[in-house]
Structure 1
Amino acid sequence: MTLWLFTSWVLLLLLQLCFLHHHADATYSSNETDRLALLEFKSMISDDPLGFLSSWNDSAHFCLWGGVSCSERHDRVAVLDLNSRGLSGSISPHIGNLTFLKQLHLYNNTFRSSIPPEIGRLRRLQVLRLSNNSLSGEIPSSISGCSALADLDVGKNNLTGTIPQELGLLNELQFLNVERNLLTGTIPSSFGNLSLIQEIRVSDNQLSGRVPEALGLLKNSLEQLMLHINYFDGEIPPSIFNLSLLIYLTLGHNQLQGNLPWNLGTLLPNLEYFYVAGNELTGSLPTSLSNATNMVQLQLQFNNFTGSVPSMASSRNLLRFSIGGNSLGGGEDGDDLGFLSSFAGARNLEALVIDTNNFVGSLPEQIGNLSSSLLLLDFSTNQIPGSIPESIRNLVSLQWLWGHENKLSGTTVLSTVANVPSLVDLRLYNNQIPGSIPPSIGNLGSLTVLRLADNRLEGEIPAAIENCRRLINLDLSNNNLSGGIPPQIMGLTSLSIVLNLSHNHFNGGIPVEVENLKNLNSLDLSYNMLSDNIPSSLGKCGSLEFVRLQANLLQGRIPSTLDLLKGIQLFDVSSNNLSGQIPRFFENMNFLRLLNLSYNKFEGEVPASGVLKNASIISLIGNDKVCGGLPELNLPLCSFRRPKKKLSYKWKVVISTISSLVFMVIVASCLSVLWMKRKGKQAMVSSDGFDMRVSYQSLHKATDGFSEANLLGAGSFGSVYKGVVDMNGKNTTIAIKVFNLQRRGAAKSFMAECEVLKNIRHRNLVRIVTVCSGVDYQGNDFKALIYEFVVNGSLENWLYATESVDDPPRSLNFRQRLDIVIHVASALDYIHNLCETPIVHCDLKPSNVLLDEDMVAHVGDFGLAAFLQPSVVNLSSDGTASSSIGIKGTVGYAPPEYGMGNEISIQGDMYSYGILVLEMFTGRRPTDESFIGGLNLQKFVNNALSEQRSTIREVLDPILFTELSLLRNSEEDVVSIFKIGVACSSDSPQERPSISEVLTKLNKLLA
């Protein structure tokens, strides 16, 4: 018996050992499967710029690898989180072997290729986020195998094909995002089975067909339905309006037709964002909108709505109300605008847009009762007569007032709006406003755009307009204004877009003060009665591209100083009394597209080389004394009389003697220069491309011996001093960059900057005056660049200003920062795309951006700049230079590829620009001490933008928090700016946008 018990115990023990061994083998095998799957995943990563996957090796258990989290019970991979790591490559099919995976986060990288269908094996997967990559191919239908999936996000990729019907089998799905892809087809009707779904985002694709009626079955869960920017047609299914839990409903920019239900406001009581703009909807606006108490944004613009606008008195939470671009109004009672009074209760209203309708009747006096937070009021392109109520002065935050293309005729219109000092953009053109421009217009010190064209204004322009020192666009054309053009207008150095005074009755000459408009792009003084000569000072307006002076009484010659206008595209002086020969400098204006010299008194030979080889760009009709030129111009041949006379013996002796003397003087001068240098005396020369001479002695005197009191700053290759010199008979403040020639590369930097700056001129580049190259009092080589002094210093000092007695606290507001990034982008666009040979700056950073008295930005310090060889530009797809450089910018601003020895490129400048943009709006340097563990400025912003629940305040410069109303109204625009900065500073050069693309986006934001 005892033996039997012992035998049984031994057998039981052996069975347990076998079981434990088998279980251990199974566990080891399962763990090994996960380890191998992760290594296979890593093997398909082509770029890991942060080295995040360097921990994925056998020195540690895979559960300790970066981004990997394992379940405590099984030691199996439960979470793989590699978001925002800059990873490139493909997603390995072996991902399907991580069978215990619950969350997969790969968003905000640059994964390419397709989504592997093996993901469908992950039956425990709950969260799949692959957004903001470069994935292509179709969405695999096998994802329906992830039966536990609650969050599916594949937005912002390049996915094609249709949305799989099988996604309707995901019974646990709560969030679905496929927006911003290239998907076609329609929304599967199977989506009606997603009984737990809360958000559906399919916007910004190429989907078409009808919106499925089956979506109306989701009334117990759906809160956000975003279908905008597609090609959906037909009527909006009535079942959509049964989704009573909806908070967001965006159907804008499709081809939808039909009417909105009359009881919309009752059917969707929770609706906060209703966006149906850009469709073909008809009928009246539902009166039940007055019940939409939770409405925050109501955007119905660009449809075919008719009739009257209902009261919005109950919508006290409204921020934006837009019904522009319809056919509303036109009622017989002439009181279409009574509904405006109903917005008095919306105390947070920021934008009220009713433009391009048929509204008649005067603006109600109650308009002054609107929200004190109102920023934009747009009632343009209607039939609104009369005046603007004086109560508008109560709108203390109003910045954009657009009332153009109406029938305003009140004599007090301009004096009334002059009482709204916060105005930034005033557009009242194409009305019937009479009388003179009141001097009170000078109260609008923040004004950047003033457009009063096509009215009945008369009299002189008041001198008080000089107080509008931020104007960039001034258009007073097509009025009855008279008198001389006041020099105060020419003192508005902020003007950079347009100065248009055409089609008036101005007389006298063009003020010589026109030279102050150095940043102006377009000057139009045509169709007036201007006389006298074209002032030579016009040649100092180096940023001009369009000059229209036609149909005046101008006389004399075209001044030779206009040869400085290298960027001219259109020059029209037709129908004047100009005379003399046609200047040959027009041949060298490489951007010239139209030169109209018709109906003047020009004479002599017509230039026919350079850009004037193209006969289509020049017009000479009505000049009877010109000759030659291209055959296509059909001008008579020029006849020249050149009598041949033999020189007498006496003249030959005289000429020979003088030549010998000149030769001897030259030789003596050269010897004298060499002797002076050896003795330590000064000897200065002027570099090619700079006409003015300046000596070491004059610079020494101007800076009080280069004293520390005049030191503005120091850089890698030298120091910058402030000085005052005599130029053309008057004292002029200049900035002098003295190179430390003991530093390696300083001489090369001097030559590079000379070579670049003598060939370029743009309103957003620091202007070089001349150079100094010679020896100092000790006989040492001396080299300096002399710049136009920029009074407000560097952007660096404004971003990180410290309070002191001598330096009061300074800061930049949101609008100023936006202007500056546009100015810098304009400068880069010029050197990248508009110069004959593209230029790479190579050292863009805040200390190299200077701000003038009007806060216009000027990019400087081209000491590291390089030309791209034309052959390289033509043959290379990525715009790289033909050789690398030794110094490649500043830490934090230099692109990562330069650190790996890559050649300089335009994309390198784009990286620096992106960092600059992010720095300006976050208030953090790229070398901030808080950026550790692989985090940098780009990742800091990108991570915050990627978190769905994050707010813009998490990354925004705290100084901007005080502009609360602007932030609320422009949060999407601020996000757009951050996205531009993030895109430009991508680790991959191929992913960075061009500066032209960036400028287009920024100008839209500015508008």
Structure 2
Amino acid sequence: MEKALTFLCYFFFFFCSVTPRSSNEISSDEFALLSVKSMLSASSSEGLLASWNTSSHYCRWPGVICGGRRHPERVVALRLGSANLSGRISPFMGNLSFLKELNLGNNQLAGKIPPEIGRLLRLQVLNLSTNHLQGSIPVALVECTNLTILFLSFNQLQGEIPVNIGSLRNLKILAISENRLSGQIPQSLADFHVIENLALSQNRLSGEIPPSLGNLSSLSGLALDGNTLSGTIPSSLGFLSRLSWLNLSFNNLSGVIPISIWNNSSLRVFSVQKNMLSGTVPPNAFSNLPHMQRIFMDSNQFHGHIPPSIANASDMSVLQLLDNLFSGGVPPEVLVFEGNKISGSIPKDIGEIPAALGECQLLRYLFLQNNILNGSIPSALSRLKGLETLDVSSNNLSGQIPKFLGDLTTLSYLNLSFNSFVGEVPNIGVFTNATAVSVQGNELVCGGIPGLHLPRCSLQSGKRKHKFPVVPVIIPLIATLLVLALLYKLVNWRKRSKVNMPITTSVKGHPLISYSELVKATDGFSTSNLLGSGSFGSVYKGELDQPGESASLVAVKVLKLQTPMALKSFTAECEALRNMRHRNLVKIITVCSSIDTRGNDFKAIVYDFMPNGSLEGWLHPDKDDQPEQRHLDLLGRVTILLDVACALDYLHWQGPAPIVHCDVKSSNVLLGVDMVAHVGDFGLARIFVEGSTSLQQSTSSMGLRGTIGYAAPEYGAGNVVSTNGDIYSYGILVLETVTGKKPTDTGSRQGLTLREYVELGLDDRVIDIVDTQLSLELDNGLQMANDSPYRRKIDWLASLLRLGMSCSQELPSSRTPTGDIIKELHAMKESLESIQHVKDGKYP
């Protein structure tokens, strides 16, 4: 009776609402589409579905794709993914009998999956993932025998997987993860002859893993993690010759890992963490896994030795073995994986830190705490130029704290506590930040910055070094040098007054280059080499000859000295960058302070050339000048924002003197080789006097305080510049990077500021306010078997936008500090890189 009333209501609704055409002119497909619309809430229909009416042909409605020549009036695809739809799926969907693709993923649909979808016998792709669907998987779905892709992940589906689901013999991808499905894994899954990716993770499945899954010869990815599966790992899985991703984590599996798994040369990712597995790792196990990239075996009961053959897994990037019962020494080969992230528990009898670690020149994290390491920190570790975190706490290390640790510019956390180090603590690099260094529990160390609260070091050793009176020798020497310098300047001044020739004078802190060399390098400052022009100068691409070396590409910033404050900009930039060394700062190569061929003053700064231009150029490309469309994915944007945050952290807290950039914006973020971001243009920078919060007088008189749209609101009120002002600008940069909107262009935002625009869409319309390129990336993400990465990307986009809002709060003291920014972005980048590995390997 209820279905009959519903049908009559549909009829009444459609026959009353159709005005341009009579009722007998409405096709069955159009009627079905209007039925679909009728079961969606009115508020969510106002977007994409607003034009679904009889004023235009239904084949031209957004999201509707009709057939070609043979069936031009029949709907073959319905693409309504990420359309902010709510409501229920109409049972009339089953009347679209020519439908081959149905995509309703990433909406807010509720209710049950109508069994009428089982009537779509031509259906090949069904995506209902990331909704709020309930009930069971309709048994009728197995009638859609042409299905090749079935996405039902991230819903609230219950009940058991249909026992005859194996009837879908053309299925290549089945993703039903992140639901509440229960019961056992159906034996009929073994009938999937062409299945490539099978994702059943994060459900409530129980029982044993069917050995018959070893018959799925085309399987490349199997995800069964996050269930309550028991029993042993079937050895048949190890004979799947195409299997590259196997995730069995977070279950109740027991027994040993079959030898066939260790012999499967196609495996790249293997995860069995959080089970009750035991046994040993075969001596030659890793010799048969040349392509293995990531292994997760932590939180089990594995024992025995870690075999040296692990060194043969040259592609290894992550190895997690902690919380097991491994014993014995770690072979040096285990610690020599260039570019690896070594984590986990190092066995207690490891002895000294292996010097071989110095070969891991791309190593970023090294955790060796809570062992009985002895000896000193080997000098070979000085070669770890990318090291970010080093923890050797709670060991028996001794000797002096190596000064080279302060020379590692990327090192942001160092824990040396509870060892037996002696002597003076260095005061360079990471040692200048008391919150980044821990040396407690070393009773015989001294010195360091005041924030470490260590006793002063004895001066006796310093006195013994000077066997002769220093002061009487040094003072005359300095006086002589000053006199010679004055004479040199006087001679140069006399020459300049007599001859109208270009000369070069000294600029403190940098080697010099002549005007004629820059003319040659830039082809006479040709417009064809012009890279850009700003308030204080123009930047040209140049090719600089170097003695004994091949020519190098440089960027030459020529100051517009006729512009007010340009000279102070030149001084500020030279002073700011004079002692700065960081991978995310633009490197100043040399300067030129001279006169040109007309006798006019000439000043220029020469930087490393950045081959990939600026972030602004990527976010807002000029279509006329862009030979090819460039795309910046989410991982790339997060990496760039992390690089900029690291640069600001160094400027504000880690460098020789605190510096406020004062002009953080997308055009000042330059992209070098491998898209590494470098912060440049320090023409407005202010340097804090050491030991105080005041700015150096030489640069504090400059009137400009940043760029409109990026500048902190307190600057407009005349407040003194501060590091919090840079954080505000960075927050706006984050919002710009995620939305693709310029902070000064309000036309596309209906007059709203960038913060107001983001605030309106942050709660429930994230996908609508992000950059179009990111939206397309998310749509493509639906082609992955496991929709978990897609959902996480949505969450990360929201987190990025919230980070931008937090950094750009009006109250300066409420803005997020750089340390917290780096932690959040670093975690996000790590997860995105993991997803990229999955995507590249086509893993579920």
TM range (shorter): 0.5 to 0.7
Larger Rg: 1
Which amino acid letter does the alignment assign opposite residue 311 of structure 1? I
Aligned-pair distance for 1:696?
1.4
Aligned-pair distance for 1:695?
2.6
Partner of 1:311: 161
2:557 matches 1:738? yes
Asked if structure 1 preserves the Cα contact closer than 8 Å seen for 2:576 and 2:685, the reply is yes
Aligned-pair distance for 1:502?
4.4
Q: Structure 1 851/371 Cα, relative in aligned 2: closer, same or farther at 3 Å?
A: farther
2:632 matches 1:812? yes
Partner of 1:664: 480
Q: Structure 1 936/198 Cα, relative in aligned 2: closer, same or farther at 3 Å?
A: same
**Distance in 1 separating the partners of 2:462 and 2:230:** 68
- SS of equivalent residue, structure 1 residue 931: helix
Q: How does 1:10-89 map to 2 (within 5 A)?
A: none
2:512 matches 1:695? yes
**Distance in 1 separating the partners of 2:439 and 2:578:** 25
Which amino acid letter does the alignment assign opposite residue 390 of structure 2? F
Asked if structure 2 preserves the Cα contact closer than 8 Å seen for 1:696 and 1:775, the reply is no
Partner of 2:73: none
- SS of equivalent residue, structure 2 residue 213: helix
Partner of 1:321: 177
**Distance in 1 separating the partners of 2:610 and 2:685:** 21
2:782 matches 1:782? no
Partner of 1:965: 783
**Distance in 2 separating the partners of 1:322 and 1:413:** 26
Alignment match of 1:749 (pick from 555, 569, 575) = 569
Asked if structure 1 preserves the Cα contact closer than 8 Å seen for 2:335 and 2:356, the reply is no
1:827-884 residue CA offsets vs partner (Å, 9 max, x unmatched): 556666878987654433333334455544444434334468999999xxxxxxx999
- SS of equivalent residue, structure 1 residue 714: strand
Asked if structure 1 preserves the Cα contact closer than 8 Å seen for 2:369 and 2:392, the reply is yes
Asked if structure 1 preserves the Cα contact closer than 8 Å seen for 2:781 and 2:790, the reply is no
Aligned-pair distance for 1:610?
2.8
Partner of 1:994: 816
- SS of equivalent residue, structure 2 residue 521: coil
Alignment match of 2:355 (pick from 509, 512, 516) = 509
Q: Structure 1 416/891 Cα, relative in aligned 2: closer, same or farther at 3 Å?
A: farther
Which amino acid letter does the alignment assign opposite residue 321 of structure 1? S
- SS of equivalent residue, structure 1 residue 816: helix
Q: Structure 1 834/951 Cα, relative in aligned 2: closer, same or farther at 3 Å?
A: same
1:215-235 residue CA offsets vs partner (Å, 9 max, x unmatched): xxxxxxxxxxxxx9xxxxxxx
**Distance in 2 separating the partners of 1:399 and 1:856:** 33
Partner of 2:213: 366
Alignment match of 2:404 (pick from 536, 561, 576) = 561
**Distance in 1 separating the partners of 2:369 and 2:494:** 57
Q: Structure 1 642/667 Cα, relative in aligned 2: closer, same or farther at 3 Å?
A: closer
Partner of 1:843: 663
**Distance in 1 separating the partners of 2:515 and 2:283:** 54
- SS of equivalent residue, structure 2 residue 439: strand
**Distance in 1 separating the partners of 2:591 and 2:569:** 14
Asked if structure 1 preserves the Cα contact closer than 8 Å seen for 2:515 and 2:596, the reply is no
Aligned-pair distance for 1:364?
4.6
**Distance in 2 separating the partners of 1:474 and 1:436:** 17
Query: TM-score scaled by structure 1?
Result: 0.49
Q: Structure 1 345/644 Cα, relative in aligned 2: closer, same or farther at 3 Å?
A: closer
Q: How does 1:560-639 map to 2 (within 5 A)?
A: 560-565=403-408, 569-572=413-416, 588-595=432-439, 606-607=446-447, 610-614=450-454
Q: How does 1:78-227 map to 2 (within 5 A)?
A: none
Partner of 1:546: 390
**Distance in 1 separating the partners of 2:218 and 2:196:** 6
Asked if structure 1 preserves the Cα contact closer than 8 Å seen for 2:424 and 2:448, the reply is no
Asked if structure 2 preserves the Cα contact closer than 8 Å seen for 1:323 and 1:354, the reply is yes
Which amino acid letter does the alignment assign opposite residue 355 of structure 2? G
**Distance in 1 separating the partners of 2:199 and 2:480:** 79
2:504 matches 1:682? yes
Aligned-pair distance for 1:989?
2.3
**Distance in 2 separating the partners of 1:884 and 1:985:** 30
Q: Structure 1 659/607 Cα, relative in aligned 2: closer, same or farther at 3 Å?
A: closer
Q: Structure 1 724/613 Cα, relative in aligned 2: closer, same or farther at 3 Å?
A: farther
Partner of 1:864: 684
Aligned-pair distance for 1:458?
1.7
**Distance in 2 separating the partners of 1:343 and 1:989:** 61
Partner of 2:225: 378
Aligned-pair distance for 1:748?
3.2
- SS of equivalent residue, structure 2 residue 663: coil
Q: Structure 1 395/761 Cα, relative in aligned 2: closer, same or farther at 3 Å?
A: farther
**Distance in 2 separating the partners of 1:443 and 1:973:** 27
- SS of equivalent residue, structure 1 residue 784: strand
Aligned-pair distance for 1:667?
1.2
Which range is displaced more, 656-665 or 561-570?
A: 656-665
- SS of equivalent residue, structure 1 residue 389: helix
Which amino acid letter does the alignment assign opposite residue 613 of structure 1? H
Q: Structure 1 274/412 Cα, relative in aligned 2: closer, same or farther at 3 Å?
A: same
Q: Structure 1 514/755 Cα, relative in aligned 2: closer, same or farther at 3 Å?
A: farther
- SS of equivalent residue, structure 2 residue 631: coil
Aligned-pair distance for 1:541?
3.2
**Corresponding residue pairs, total:** 663
Q: Percent identity?
A: 22
Q: Structure 1 476/820 Cα, relative in aligned 2: closer, same or farther at 3 Å?
A: farther
1:471-499 residue CA offsets vs partner (Å, 9 max, x unmatched): 6x66678786534578760xx3xx7x767
Query: TM-score scaled by structure 2?
Result: 0.57
Q: Structure 1 837/441 Cα, relative in aligned 2: closer, same or farther at 3 Å?
A: farther
Q: Structure 1 394/790 Cα, relative in aligned 2: closer, same or farther at 3 Å?
A: farther
Which amino acid letter does the alignment assign opposite residue 668 of structure 2? N
**Distance in 2 separating the partners of 1:360 and 1:699:** 80
**Distance in 2 separating the partners of 1:400 and 1:370:** 17
- SS of equivalent residue, structure 2 residue 177: strand
Aligned-pair distance for 1:538?
1.7
Which amino acid letter does the alignment assign opposite residue 544 of structure 1? E
Q: Structure 1 751/402 Cα, relative in aligned 2: closer, same or farther at 3 Å?
A: farther
- SS of equivalent residue, structure 2 residue 605: strand
Which amino acid letter does the alignment assign opposite residue 511 of structure 2? V
Say which structure, 1 or 2, has more relative contact order (CA 8 Å, 6+ apart).
Answer: 2
Aligned-pair distance for 1:964?
3.5
Partner of 2:532: 714
Aligned-pair distance for 1:663?
3.5
Gaps of 5+ in 1: 1-125, 130-196, 200-227, 229-244, 249-269, 277-285, 330-335, 616-627, 630-636, 688-692, 875-881
Q: Structure 1 321/894 Cα, relative in aligned 2: closer, same or farther at 3 Å?
A: same
Which amino acid letter does the alignment assign opposite residue 843 of structure 1? D
Partner of 2:307: 458
Partner of 2:201: 353
1:137-170 residue CA offsets vs partner (Å, 9 max, x unmatched): xxxxxxxxxxxxxxxxxxxxxxxxxxxxxxxxxx
Which amino acid letter does the alignment assign opposite residue 590 of structure 1? A
Partner of 2:23: none
Q: Structure 1 865/542 Cα, relative in aligned 2: closer, same or farther at 3 Å?
A: farther
Which amino acid letter does the alignment assign opposite residue 633 of structure 2? N
Which amino acid letter does the alignment assign opposite residue 548 of structure 1? V
- SS of equivalent residue, structure 1 residue 321: coil
Aligned-pair distance for 1:740?
1.0
Partner of 2:842: none
Which amino acid letter does the alignment assign opposite residue 605 of structure 2? A
**Distance in 1 separating the partners of 2:252 and 2:606:** 51
Asked if structure 1 preserves the Cα contact closer than 8 Å seen for 2:611 and 2:671, the reply is yes
Which amino acid letter does the alignment assign opposite residue 570 of structure 1? L
